Chains A and B, each alone.
Chain A
């Protein structure tokens, strides 16, 4: 988190993590497509090779709260391929919250687990306590065949420490819910650690209302 008291500006870094081809970039594309243009900036895609992320994608979102505080959200994706671990670790530096995009297909269960362990390791190597950073999990690609059933996901959600979301990012389903969930978790954690309400006069409930308002779909831009 970066705070500029003079400019009454707060910048949060949110990272979309997950195994290769799980749909991290697709999530950002969908948010960019669905989000209101006065909140979402340009989606920056940095160096791709055959449509695979090499460095990261970045989507800036600005929410001006009624209390006069400007909140800048920076959404990042990491490259999922195993060989880009150094880049993943760099992108993860200074993150305030993580959305872990898992692939719902049964065949990808191992890749999900491996990537999550990698996330934990990279957080630790960046001096971030994985137990204290807000993490939410999105089970993406719900429209594919041979995926974990809704019942299974409910059972997983019941046991999981992290909130679970379901999505079909290619069609925009669930991406905004995931983003709002991530923002809520992150804000709650920051409120707990930095007492934002005291400092900036923004209550978590009011903040989330403003986020909801800003991230509401523009007319005509529907989930496809």
Chain B
């Protein structure tokens, strides 16, 4: 079936050609059973003139007349006339010169002619003997033979023939109806799938373009952050430099009040510089342009260094700081400056959110990490794991609500705005830590219980594997 036919079908639900909805096999089966039951020949012809079913057996009478010159001609004429007769609304009964008749009933569907059924030839039971048109059709007719063959023709009473024909017509029209229904259902199915696909494809296209737009905006944001941070840092360096010079007395002796003010300026300027550095780091990390200078780093030294940096503030807040390194812990393969940044950031956070009298523990122990196989698949091809160092930063602080855990590594994310005011920070620390850990090929995980504390676990590749 062609596509334009399909479109018209859907639009109007019309049968375009009888053949599209009526299978030759099924209509032939019906004709065969009709023939078997009543002995009447059946032909089904479409409106376009295609023969869809033809069930008959040559009768001796027909064979006989076809042996006669005039008989053959008359027979051919009658048969082709009957085939081409198209009844309008009523059944036509067309006589044959042999005395038999053909009954031609129109097939209609939804108010339109779609074809016809032809029943016959048969002899109406009411007919007495062969007509003169048979006995005189040709000079060579042997009347007793013709009469004998005539008697063997199927005989049906006309009122019964009419009923049988109407019944056959009804059955064929029913076949058309169910064939049409099946055709429409399958056409609709395909058309609906196509239409759904078209709709989805359009939506996907729209999503993709808005995704691209967002990506572009994100890129713009990163560039903007990097530029602004850079431009902010330059004058800030001067502010810090000149403040240091003033503090050192380069511009003359200072009063206590002046020194105090300068100290505040210096403190705030340092804080600002830290924030700007974080922004720059984030920009570089997002642009994947941060270079890591990897080497074997001793976790003991790393944790001790971080410990010594935060111990004053721990003491100030009356928080116990503990460092534990397991004996067999290997060295870490990483950039010492960035590793320190990772641990310091986590430790600083831990301290920030731990109440007075609480505890912060930094620890290192040997571990293993996934060697990069696709989640357990093809284990034969990938070594399951490789040595790693597990660093943990555990606190006894307020904890992180569960619904926030998945977002704490997002840049600028704060659990609540109040945190910023009471604890400072721009919500960049954990985002930077996560990106640095990722950059080292490691992973970071967090578990937390409200009012009990939080544990950050950083797993980094051990140096042995790379050394």
Residues of A within 8 A of B (CB): 2, 9, 11, 13, 41-42, 44, 46-47, 55-56, 58, 60, 62, 70, 72, 74, 76, 84-87, 89-91, 93-94
B12 and A87: CB pair below 8 A? no
A62 and B188: CB pair below 8 A? no
Q: Which of the listed residues B14, B109, B110, B184 has the most CB atoms from chain A within 10 Å of its own CB? A: B110
A86 and B195: CB pair below 8 A? yes
Partner of B111, one of A55, A58, A62, A89: A62
B185 and A55: CB pair below 8 A? yes
- Give 17 A-B contacts (CB < 8 Å), ordered by A residue: A13-B11, A13-B12, A41-B111, A44-B177, A55-B185, A55-B189, A55-B192, A56-B188, A58-B13, A58-B184, A62-B111, A72-B111, A74-B12, A85-B199, A86-B195, A90-B191, A93-B10
Does B196 touch A at the CB level, under 8 Å? yes
Which chain A positions have C-beta within 8 A of B331? none
Closest chain A residue, CB of each to CB of B188: A55
Interface of A is mostly: mixed
List of 7 A-B pairs having minimum Cβ-Cβ separation, nearest first: A62-B111, A86-B195, A60-B110, A94-B11, A55-B188, A86-B196, A87-B192
Q: How large is the interface on B (under 10, 10 to 19, 20 to 34, 35 or more residues)?
A: 20 to 34
B195 and A89: CB pair below 8 A? yes
Residues of B within 8 A of A (CB): 10-14, 109-112, 177, 180-181, 184-185, 188-189, 191-192, 195-196, 199
Known interface pairs A41-B110, A58-B13, A60-B110; A87-B188 also in contact (CB < 8 Å)? yes
Known interface pairs A62-B110, A62-B111, A86-B196; A44-B184 also in contact (CB < 8 Å)? yes
Which chain B positions have C-beta within 8 A of A72? 110-112
A90 and B10: CB pair below 8 A? yes
Partner of B192, one of A11, A58, A90: A90
Q: Which of the listed residues B109, B110, B111 has the most CB atoms from chain A within 10 Å of its own CB? A: B111
**CA gap between A41 and B109 in the complex, in Å:** 8
Which chain A positions have C-beta within 8 A of B11? 13, 93-94
Q: Which of the listed residues B112, B177, B192 has the most CB atoms from chain A within 10 Å of its own CB? A: B192
Which chain B positions have C-beta within 8 A of A76? 13
Which chain A positions have C-beta within 8 A of B111? 41, 60, 62, 70, 72
Closest chain B residue, CB of each to CB of A75: B13
Closest chain A residue, CB of each to CB of B191: A90
A46 and B12: CB pair below 8 A? no
Chain B nearest CB, measured from A10 CB (Å):
11
**CA gap between A89 and B112 in the complex, in Å:** 27
Which chain A positions have C-beta within 8 A of B188? 46-47, 55-56, 87, 90
Chain B nearest CB, measured from A133 CB (Å):
15
Closest chain A residue, CB of each to CB of B8: A2
B195 and A90: CB pair below 8 A? yes
Partner of A11, one of B10, B14, B180, B184: B14
Known interface pairs A60-B111, A62-B110, A90-B192; A42-B185 also in contact (CB < 8 Å)? no
B184 and A46: CB pair below 8 A? yes
Partner of B185, one of A13, A47, A89, A93: A47
